[in-house]
Amino acid sequence: MPSKPAGTLYRGKVGMWSWVLHRITGVAIFFFLLVHVLDTSLVRLSPEAYDVVIATYKTPIIGLAELGLVAAILFHAFNGIRIILIDFWSKGSKYQNAMFWVVVSIAFVIFAIFTPRHLGNVFG
Amino acid sequence: MSIVIEPPRTAKPKRTNWEKWGWIYMRVSGVALIILVFGHLFANLWVGEGIKAIDFAFVAGKWSDPFWQVWDLLMLWLALIHGTNGMRTIVNDYAEREKTRKRLVWILWATCVALIVLGTLVIYTFDPCPANGTPENLPSFCPVNQS
Ligand code: HEM
Ligand code: HEM
């Protein structure tokens, strides 16, 4: 019996890291959404209560955290498409490695376009 | 001579295969969520002054339009069920004791149902001009701001 799995195709490569990232981003978005449904529900309490809480979304620290949220969603969404293509497209698993870099590139480009504008809104 | 295997070769499962439907749901909802979530972020973070423009009056403006009501309703249901089912997968992977696993999965779905009920009520009982709002906080189309 081997003491540890040796030379697998999967361990430590793109296949593994994309899975780790997909999992971490999914959990992060989930916990954001729990809080987000609660903060949005304040509109039923009073307009003042909602405005006070949503004001924290415009502070520098939360403003920066929103960049993290957007980055997480960009990766999770495009990597989600990659997973679906691996499942359903006959050449999906052949190109999974290349598709990972396409995912990262598209996410990065959109993030780079979004960031200056968002920072302008938060700090401007 | 060739061997003929009579279909069906495996007995049809009698019970609904929930894991299979969960797997399909993750993919179908994922595709829909790309449009819903990106549309939401575009409208709320990109257009105009983005995050700076969001306040009660902004929400009142959006939810006076059935389009955004339905948009948010779909996003609420699809994202919460997708996220909860994804969290269930993760709990199944890491929870060591069966009792702990069952309890965590139960908490996940209870939270999911509670937030779906809350979020749905919030959208459909929303009043853009509530009596406890001061004119500065209310949208311009409210009667108190029309004079
Ligand atoms: C920083 C980013 C975000 C901001 C500033 C934001 C802002 C808002 C605002 C102002 C509303 C009120 C209604 C509307 O405008 O449509 C809302 C509702 C909602 N948002 Fe977001 N949102 C953000 C990210 C997200 C994300 C990532 C998701 C999904 C994963 C999401 C899901 C929802 C849902 C489901 C509702 C409806 C809640 C309810 O029914 O009570 N939001 N959001
Ligand atoms: C924006 C569009 C989205 C797409 C295309 C997408 C796609 C996917 C796909 C394909 C999976 C894999 C399911 C499987 O392996 O069976 C998945 C898992 C998951 N998703 Fe999403 N998703 C999206 C949005 C979200 C949102 C808004 C949340 C949180 C509320 C979320 C949370 C999760 C979680 C927690 C998992 C489980 C991860 C794991 O098992 O490692 N996703 N998603």
Which chain A residues contact residue B38 at CB under 8 A? 77
Rounded Cα distance between B97 and A110, Å, is 42
In this structure, what token pair is assigned to residue A118?
């968002």
Confidence grade of residue A7 (pLDDT, cut at 50, 70, 90): low
Of A37, A51, A77, the CB nearest to B55: A51
Among residues B143, B141, B133, B126, which one has the least CA distance to residue B59? Answer: B126
- Tell me, yes or no, if A36 comes closer than 8 A to chain B by beta carbon: no
Rounded Cα distance between A33 and B115, Å, is 10
- Pick the range with the lowest mean pLDDT from B75-84, B87-96, B137-146: B137-146
In a mutational test of the B interface, the residue from A43, A75, A79, A106 whose CB has the highest number of chain B CBs within 10 Å is A43
Write down the architecture of domain B19-129 according to CATH: Up-down Bundle (1.20)
- Domain regions of chain A by residue span: 58-121
Q: What is the average per-residue pLDDT within B137-145?
A: 93
Rounded Cα distance between B131 and B136, Å, is 13
- Pick the range with the lowest mean pLDDT from A115-124, B9-18, B83-92: B9-18
Q: ipTM of this complex > 0.85?
A: yes
Model confidence at B29: pLDDT above 60: yes
Q: What is the average per-residue pLDDT within B83-102?
A: 97
Percent of residues, chain B, with pLDDT higher than 90:
86
Per the model's pLDDT, the better-predicted residue between A26 and A3 turns out to be: A26
- pLDDT tens digit sequence for A38-95: 999 999 999 999 999 999 999 999 999 999 999 999 999 999 999 999 999 999 999 9
The CA-CA-CA angle for residues B58, B40, B49, to 5°, reads 50
In terms of DSSP H, where are the helices of chain B?
18-41, 56-63, 66-94, 98-124
Rounded Cα distance between A25 and A50, Å, is 27
Residue A3 is predicted with a pLDDT of: 64
